[in-house]
Structure 1
Amino acid sequence: MEDSIHEVENENINQRGNESKSVSSLSADRLREMLSQPELATLYTDLKAYGERALNEPMPSLSFRLYRQFSDTGERKTYEEAYFDRRGRLAAVAMLALDTTRPDALQALEEMLWDVCGEYTWCLPAHLGTGEVNQVDGNIDLFAAETVHMLAEIVTIHAERLDRLVIERIRSEAEWRIFTPLYREQRKFHWQTADHNWSAVCGGCCGMAALLLLEDESTLQESISHTVSCMNAFLSGYGEDGGCAEGIGYWVYGFGYFTYYTEMLREYSEGELDLLTGSKITAIAAFPLRVHLSGGTYVNYSDSVEQEEIPSGLLSLLASRVGLQIDLPFHIPLLTDDPCHRWAHLLRNVMWSDPPVYGDEGASGQAERGFIFQNLGWMIVKGSLDSLDTKRTYGGPLQVAISIKGGHNDEPHNHNDLGQFIIHCGGENILCDPGAGLYSQAYFAPGREQLFHISSSGHNVPLIEGQEQCSGRQAQAHVLEAKLAEGCGELDTTLDLTSAYSGAASLARYTRQFHWEMSPDGSKDRAELRLIDRFQWKSRMVSSAERFSSVDDSDAGCSSVVERWMSRVQPEVVKSGNLRWQGAHGAIHMTYDANQWKILTEKLDTVDHDNVPVTFYRTSLSWTGVIDETDVRIESSNPLETVCEVRFIIEPKMGETEVSMRE
């Protein structure tokens, strides 16, 4: 795929000539027509409510005190809330101003555009170091790029009605803030060669603004060449399997803006420059459908959330351009669903959303029931519980799934989570991943691996000799086996995770083995995951009573091995060796050897990425046994071993009568 884009760049960019071309799809008439469609009624109601509030309230101030807050305290949320509210109001009023009977909306739009042009910086303080003048001048981050793109599209759409001075101001601000440093002076920015979302978003937004605003042909050609180079860098972060290590949220962000730019470039060049082609692009496009588990809930490794709003315009465009088969219910995200109120998603949801390309969830022949991301190291299997009782209770099959994560501990937005797994039932990740925490200065600073959301302590992986997983590329999950029998919904996987625990001095080897099976006993109302962790030691391991004091003050922290399971559901002890997490529609029973493992559940209160309080329950199994080494030689060729074998049974949620009968 990279070669094909370079070929486009080298052979076609300079053949375009000086013929004037435009992006005809950005017209007020077309947008008015699209907004009148019945499927956009809810979206328009949301836009109108937000826009009317913006017409009656002053724009939030980006004060000096707010600006300095990040460098002074590391707090970024307050400034960013005001910043994104300003963008959201501008987006909503730009849509309301399409109504030619609303001169008040057009006048407010001009005031807002003028106000945004006057901001000290379009960047976020969190991306400017200490925020001094020399760090601001000519700097371009994600949101400076998004801002220039937003202004360029709004001024293009409303060009016939906006005051000429507002248009000239926008062109002037775009020139000195973006085009001069990036294309004329050719300053170097770290994101130009980044293999993650920054290259696609920054490069793509600046590139789209250039296509719309630049009149100098030589600079425009430089912008196209520059942006295609950024897109090459972005795609280099993906393997041929199309997997996004940053997770579903950043797939929406990075690949979304990649697609938005490539479509504008294709239209601008009248089809001569088409970057949205090839098997790798097709695989990347399929990523959200492969990691969708059920009910709008996704695999959420790294800094992603479980419930993600996938832009309907983006999916619709990919369906038409690369033949993506969408097995999700049709839903157009609202402007207020996105905390950042991104204009690019909003506009394309209006322009591109196409209900007929959507199918039903789990539609026959569309949904992949299992997939192994060979490059990424993720494994996903989906199935359904479809007994008569399940159909009577839920009106149809109950969707279940498992996901397992390999990879390494130096990925974009990395969490130290090798061997992490998710168990899903009925639209809910019952054994879950914590996803992204609140972004702050500490979240991206040295020592970040101590934070709950990033540390292995917040994931379904063990503590070994008091040591969490270490950071770095050398901490890697080596896949010893990955076998998927898709027809019958079985998965066998074994990972060697030894390198993730380099701080565990006595550990010789650690492997984690999974066996997932639908209907293990022939019934249609349960699935089973068997997990076997093998810890091989260089020397004799002793019981918890003889162990060292660990960093954890709990009893579990004194063991040489502590297995851990994360859930938003508080578990119940059914009986010795049997624990149950009962979710909204499904339940998980875990059985383990109570003679060798002591159980402990802790309540952990934290906040999520949006600073909303959330509670997790971490259940620990602490090893209490002693290895009998009477007949075992202490040699590297015959190491001592601790084995933890647990079984998870996933089944429909039981009523109180059924629970009491089973217990």
Structure 2
Amino acid sequence: MLTAFLREHPMRELLKGGTRRLYPPAEDRKAWDGIPAGYRREIRKMAEDYAKTDYPLRTVSGFLAFVRIGDRQADEKPYFTRRRKLCAAVMNCCAFPDAEMDDVLNGIWLLCEESSWVISAHNVNPIPGAPKAAEYPLPDVRKPYIDLFSAQTGMILALTTSLLGKRLDAVSPMIRKRITEEIRRRILRPFMKTDDFWWMGVRRKDLNNWTPWILSNIMVCAVLDPMPAGNLSTLLTRACGMLDRYIAILPEDGGCDEGAGYWNMAGGALLDCLTLLETVTGGRMTFRENEKIRNILRFPLTMEMGNGWFANFADCDARPFISGERMETAGRMLKDPALTVLGTRMRGTIADQLNDVPHLTRALDLIFHVPADKTDLSADKPEDAYLPDLQVRLVRRDRWTLACKGGHNGESHNHNDIGSFILFLDGEPEVVDAGNMVYTAKTFSEERYTLWNVRAEWHNLPVIGGHEQREGAEHTARNVSMTPDGMEMNLEAAYDEKAGIRELKRSFTLTKGGLKLTDAGSLRKGQEITWIFLLRRKPVWENGQVRAGNLIIRCPEGLEYTAEEKPVTDPRMARSWPGSLWRIRLKSEKLERFRMTFEFAAADREASK
């Protein structure tokens, strides 16, 4: 797509019509004095809070904790705190020209002195033949690797020189020279000299959010570097080829199998790349009308469940941070009122942009991209949605919202959850997906499926004869189809042969009265089947039905009921689910053929009958 465009319109010619100024420098007082007063107050308060403590140490023992005990946070906590503190200080010195520069200077010097800008969990470039992390526990300073956050660090420093260049030069011209050389040594030269980094799409084809996220930051580094236009043209053309490889692996429906929360770093990062290309070419390189791009940018709207909740399949938080400004910008670009409204409602704060990971570009976008016209919030009218490639369906009926999925169990950031579903009543979660946890060494290793939250037995699925779904792309939904009020599919291939399933068909039907879930099938021999539902509220078993808050589940006869509380102790998961979740099990006698229907209804409606 991009490369084909550049064959007809060479980048070197396109650059003649654009600008390399991405954000107003500090001396542009009209721009900085004109940002909304609320943002100015937040900038000052954030900088003052960070100024109360020194920059933290980043130690070898903290880096080694990943290979020693699987702990990512020992390195990542000081790593990200350093960068957040620097971002806050930079913005403060731009917004208030009398602000002290020492936190900026100290932050710059600390980052330039780091042995590596790569976090401990990303120290090995995972291409075929790469050593295991334990065999390569520390970075090789002679061979800089570019991961997500080394590229982001380069972006932060590049923007620091762009925004505060004159004030830095007043201290010493060596500061900007040092930054330029460090970015070139760690980011720009390695980017141009090797095809080996896995996210480039040469050695591996299974690309994900790493590609657009890294490229969005490398492109900022390049545009703000004082390199000649010819060199910039070559670099951006190379980056566009990698973006093409990423876009090519995405489905036409725009779905992101990493989960809605990853849109920030996937579709949102792609938007960052495309808007930068528009800026540096004066709008002559644009893809706003491309249908696939439009679908990618609309993905969060498709997955929205309401009130800040999203259908959180895969490694996604139920209440993820998604950049509202990026959604709002995408909505205005696409002339999509519903997406614009969703973004407006979720604009958030400057701290939100930095606390996710230090997105200095997103923080600047937030304060400078304030729409002149007021968004009509009544334009938000969510509709039913179906992503045929991702095989995800959202249905909204009166008080109910249903999200259900097919797909396969080899997806990026996969959970074993083919046929699982999420159900909301009156805008609140009732039947849930536990979602994501704090990442550790296990998360992306051979031990991933020892983690409870990714296993099928903690999703809303049946366990057949003690066998749950298995991981791998060969374990897939079949005969998947959208129905007027839901979705249906076959699940037998989601299990291994030992489960002995001849056929297992699941169907969802959502009406104003609630959800009807039907599982029908046959087994090679009689086996017990256990239906599992993960609930937000504490359940009670009464007369063949489950009551959990305002939710009632009417169950088939003859099922044995048990329930267990799952205290949510993981800090990341607890942001969505403070307190506990509840798993219920409904076990049948041994069956060879079965047809079971579960009806989910509102208790207050039942009481009024």
TM-score, normalising length: structure 2: 0.90
How far does residue 20 in structure 1 lie from its aligned partner after superposition? 9.2
Counterpart of 1:511 (choices 482, 505, 508) is 505
Larger radius of gyration: 1
Kept in 2: contact 1:335–1:341 (CA 8 A): no
Q: Quote the RMSD (CA, aligned, Å).
A: 2.5
What's the CA shift for 1:294?
Answer: 1.2
Using a 3 Å threshold, how does the CA distance of structure 1 residues 277 and 209 change in structure 2: closer, same or farther? Answer: farther
Q: 1:61 aligns with which of 32, 36, 57?
A: 57
- In the alignment, what sits opposite 1:233? 245
1:494 maps to 488
Take 1:187 and 1:372, find their aligned partners in 2: how far apart are those partners? 37
Of the candidates 150, 166, 176, which is equivalent to residue 175 of structure 2?
A: 166
C-alpha distance in 1, partners of 2:226/2:239?
14
1:206-264 deviations in Å (ceiling 9; x for gaps): 12211111514443222112211221122223222121111111111112221112212
Q: CA deviation at 1:504?
A: 3.2
- Is 1:296–1:427's contact at 8 Å kept on the other side of the alignment? no
Corresponding residue of 2:5: 8
- Supply the distance in 1 between the matched residues of 2:217 and 2:225 (Cα, whole angstroms): 12
3-state SS of the aligned residue for 2:265? helix
2:347 is equivalent to residue 332 of structure 1: yes
Distance 1:248 1:505, change over 3 A: closer
Quick one: which amino acid aligns to residue 194 of structure 2? Q
Distance in 1 between the 2:96 and 2:500 partners? 74
Query: Counterparts of 1:211 and 1:173 in 2: how far apart (Å)?
Result: 15
Aligned equivalents of 1:495, 1:608: Cα separation in 2: 33
Change in CA separation of 1:481 and 1:35 when aligned onto 2, cut-off 3 Å: same
CA separation of 1:76 and 1:480: change in aligned 2, threshold 3 A: closer
2:328/2:341 contact within 8 Å kept:
no
| 2:557 corresponds to 1:605 | no
User: How big is the shift at 1:180?
Assistant: 1.2
> Of 645, 648, 651, which aligns to 2:597?
645
1:31 deviates by: 7.6
| Structure-1 residue corresponding to 2:75 | 79
Please say if 1:148 is aligned against 2:163. Answer: no
Please tell me the residue identity of whatever aligns with 2:144. G
- The aligned residue for residue 129 of structure 2 is none
CA–CA separation in structure 1 for the residues paired with 2:391 and 2:489: 10
Q: What residue in structure 1 maps to residue 585 of structure 2?
A: 620
Match of 1:175 in 2: 184
| C-alpha separation in 2, matches of 1:32 and 1:477 | 57
CA displacement, residues 49-70 of structure 1 (integer Å, 9 cap, x when unaligned): 2211222321011112111111
Equivalent AA in structure 2 for residue 171 of structure 1: T
Q: Report the counterpart of residue 189 of structure 1 in structure 2.
A: 197
Match of 1:26 in 2: 23
Deviates more, 1:340-349 or 1:138-147: 340-349
1:531 equivalent to 2:517? Answer yes
1:467 CA displacement: 1.2
Whether the 8 Å contact between 2:436 and 2:572 is mirrored in structure 1 is no
Compared CA separation, residues 92 and 352, structure 1 to 2 (3 A)? same
In 2, are the aligned partners of 1:88 and 1:335 still within 8 Å (CA)?
no
For residue 552 of structure 2, what is the aligned residue in structure 1?
589
- Secondary structure of the equivalent of 2:398? strand
Q: Secondary structure at the match of 2:276?
A: helix
Which has the higher mean CA deviation after the structures are superposed, 340-349 or 41-50? 41-50
* Counterparts in 2 of 1:600 and 1:18: CA distance versus 1, 3 Å: closer
SS state at 2:264 partner? helix
Question: Quick check: 1:244–1:376 contact (8 Å CA) kept in 2?
Answer: yes
Counterpart in 2 of 1:373? 387
Q: 1:135, 1:623 → 2: CA distance?
A: 60
Q: SS at 1:618's partner residue? A: strand
Cα shift at 1:276:
4.0
The alpha-carbon deviation at position 508 of structure 1 amounts to 1.0
**Alpha-carbon distance in structure 2 between the residues aligned to 1:308 and 1:136:** 38
Identity across the alignment (%):
21
Q: How far apart, CA to CA, are the structure 2 residues paired with 1:46 and 1:458? A: 40
Q: How many residues align?
A: 583
Distance 1:460 1:341, change over 3 A: same
Report the counterpart of residue 298 of structure 1 in structure 2. 310
Aligned pair in 2 of structure 1 residues 471, 250: CA closer, same or farther (>3 Å)? same
Distance in 2, matches of 1:47 and 1:383, equals 42
TM-score, length basis structure 1: 0.83
Q: 1:462 is aligned with what amino acid? A: P
The residue number in structure 1 matching 2:130 is none
**Aligned pair 1:462/2:477, yes or no?**
no
Following superposition, the deviation at residue 19 of structure 1 comes to 4.9
Indicate whether 1:576 and 2:528 are aligned.
no
User: Within 1, Cα distance between the matches of 2:584 and 2:318?
Assistant: 21
**Equivalent residue for 1:210, pick from 222, 246, 249:** 222
Q: CA–CA distance in 2 between the matches of 1:651 and 1:261?
A: 48
Q: Which runs of 4+ in 1 moved over 6 A?
A: none
Return closer, same or farther for 1:48/1:78 CA change in 2, 3 Å cut-off: farther
Cα deviations by residue, 1:487-535 (Å, 9 ceiling, x for unpaired):
xxxx1421101111114342111111111112xxxxxxxx311111123
Partners of 2:458 and 2:264 in 1: how far apart?
A: 25
Gaps of 5+ in 2: 124-132
Displacement of 1:83 in angstroms is 1.2
Q: Which residue of 2 aligns with 1:125?
A: 120
- Deviation track 1:355-375 (CA, whole Å, cap 9, x = no partner) reads 746342xx36x5242011111
Corresponding residue SS for 2:104: helix
Give the deviation of 1:568 after TM superposition.
2.5
SS of 2:572's partner is: coil
SS state at 2:341 partner: coil
SS at structure 1 position matched to 2:9? helix
Relative distance call for 1:416 and 1:18 in structure 2 (3 A) is closer
CA separation of 1:23 and 1:457: change in aligned 2, threshold 3 A: same
Say if 2:537 and 2:582, in contact at 8 Å, map to a contact too.
yes
Compare 598-607 and 563-572 and name the one that shifted more.
Answer: 598-607
Letter of the 2:271 counterpart: T
Aligned residue for 2:292, secondary structure, equals helix
